[in-house]
Amino acid sequence: MKTQELKIEGMSCGHCVMSVKKELGKLDSVVVEDVQIGKAKIHFDESKITAKLLADTIDGAGYKLVGVN
């Protein structure tokens, strides 16, 4: 399992946090450790999850992935 912190643009409230957490949690082999306004920390299986899939998932929740650490 790999750990990454995602930088997310467009989040401004608790509802935003819950939306991102919910959508990331739907992905197979992703464990959401923490979501705060502007960022999310996750653990995931690199063989199943790509950067594009993460970006598309966050985009689908209405926000934008702007960086990965």
How do the domains of the chain map onto residue ranges? 2-68
Indicate the DSSP class of residue 28.
T
> In tens digits, what is the pLDDT along the chain, a chain of 69 residues?
999 999 999 999 999 999 999 999 999 999 999 999 999 999 999 999 999 999 999 999 999 999 988
Q: How many CA atoms lie within 13 A of 69 on its CB side?
A: 7
CATH code linked to domain 2-68 = 3.30.70.100
Instruction: Write out the two tokens for 63.
Output: 């926000």
Is the four-CA dihedral 30, 35, 37, 40 of positive or negative sign?
Answer: negative
Query: What is the structure's pLDDT at 58?
Result: 96
pTM of the model: 0.90
Name, in order, each residue with C-beta under 8 angstroms of 39's C-beta and a sequence gap of 6 or more.
5, 6, 7, 8
